[in-house]
Amino acid sequence: MFMRTAATFAAVVATSSILSTAAFAQQDETAAHGQVDLGKTTFAQKCSHCHGPNMVNSGTVTPDLRRFPDDQPRFVTTVKQGKNGRMPPWGDILSDDEITALWAYVSSRRAQ
């Protein structure tokens, strides 16, 4: 009887662990989608006038952001400090959370 109860308890614990892990994974995915959505909104409001609504603005000096390298520190530095006198610095305008969300959005649109 004790062995059956112990085995049942172990099965319940294992099942609970699996369900908890799945719930945390779903929360992480939901949070990531929230970041991308915030980044998309911020991009539309602050960036699209130069970088274009689809991250590429032909006929200007702005790069195709869909091809931006997988280099978050470089992205953050560029957004905060500007670039080559052509891109203005946004560090005093955008919060760190907004810049992180922008990175999530740009990363989600990266050309494969």
> Each residue's pLDDT tens digit in the chain (112 positions)?
555 676 665 555 555 556 555 554 455 555 567 899 999 999 999 999 889 888 887 667 788 899 889 999 999 999 999 998 889 999 999 999 999 999 999 999 986 5
Q: Are 60 and 48 in contact (CB under 8 A)?
A: no
- Which amino acid, 79? V
Place of tokens 């992180």: 100
Q: What pLDDT shows up at residue 86?
A: 87
Domains assigned to the chain? 32-108 (1.10.760.10)
